[in-house]
Amino acid sequence: MKITSATFLGSAVGGDQFPPEDLPELAFAGRSNVGKSSLINYLLNRRSLARTSSTPGKTQTINFYEINGAFRFVDLPGYGYAKVSKAEKAKWGSFIELYLRERKKLVEIILLLDVRRKVGEDDIQMLNFIRAMGYQGRVVLTKIDKLNQSQIVRARRDIEDKLGVPKEHIFIISNLKAKGKYPLWESFNKLFQEKGFPINLERQISPEQKNA
Ligand code: GTP
Ligand code: MG
C-alpha cells in the first residue's frame, strides 16, 4: 500500500466531535513543541497538512487525519505549555484522557520526546497513563539533527534504562532533515497487522530514501 491520500478530517474539542469509530487510529502525544504535527507531515510526505509552529501550544484541539480511507493519525494537543492556566490544563487533560480512554480502535499511542531535553514529570505521567490503559506505547525521540551520534545513543539508552522502554519500541527521528521514518512505519505496519487490520505501508520512493 502506498499513501494515495491524506486528508484533514477535522478538529475536536469535545467527545461528540470525534469521527465515527470505524477505522484504526494511531495517536501522537507529547509535550508542546516536541514535533508531533511535524512528524505527521513528515510521515505523510506533506509539507503543511498539520499546522506547525515554533511557538509552543499550536495544536489545541484533537486533530484527525485520514490516510487512504483506511486508517487515521491523531494529533493530540501538547502538554506542558506554560502559558495556559491550571483550569485550562485540567480541561485539556481530561479531554485528551477521554479520547485515550474511550477510543475503541485506538491501536497505539506514540509518545514523542525531544532528544535534547530531560524527560519531564508530565512525560512520565503520560507514559504511565499509556501503560495503565493497556497500551505498550512507542517512544519517538525527535530533533536528532541537534545532537551528535554519541549523544543520541546515550539519550536512547537513557529512555531504555530509566523508563523501561524496550529497545525495539524506541525510534529516532529528524523531521527537519527527513530522517528515520521507515523503521517507524515498519512498526506501524506490525501494529496494524497484530490487531488484524490489513494495512501495510510500502516504502515510498523519495529523495530521502537513500539516507533514511
Ligand atoms: P504543539 O502543537 O504546540 O503541541 O507542538 P508540536 O509538538 O505539534 O510541534 P510542531 O510540529 O509544531 O514543531 C514545533 C517546532 O519544532 C517547529 O518550529 C518545528 O519546525 C520544529 N521541529 C519539529 N521537528 C523537528 C526536528 O526533528 N528537528 C528540528 N530541528 N526542529 C523540529
Ligand atoms: Mg502541533
What's the pTM? Answer: 0.93
In a domain, 1, yes or no: no
95-134: per-residue pLDDT in tens?
888 999 999 999 999 999 999 999 999 999 999 999 999 9
Closest ligand 1 atom to residue 52 Cα is 12
40-87: per-residue pLDDT in tens?
999 999 988 998 888 777 777 899 999 999 999 999 988 887 666 777
Neighbours of 194 (CB within 10 A): 10
Domain of 193, CATH number, reads: 3.40.50.300
In a domain, 88, yes or no: yes
The reply to whether ligand 1 has any atom less than 6 angstroms from the CB of 175 is: yes
The reply to whether ligand 1 has any atom less than 6 angstroms from the CB of 41 is: no
Pick the residue whose CA is nearest to atom 10 on ligand 1: 35
Q: Containing domain of residue 197, as a range?
A: 6-211
Closest ligand 1 atom to residue 173 Cα is 27
The reply to whether ligand 1 has any atom less than 6 angstroms from the CB of 80 is: no
124-173: per-residue pLDDT in tens?
999 999 999 999 999 999 999 999 999 999 999 999 999 999 999 999 99
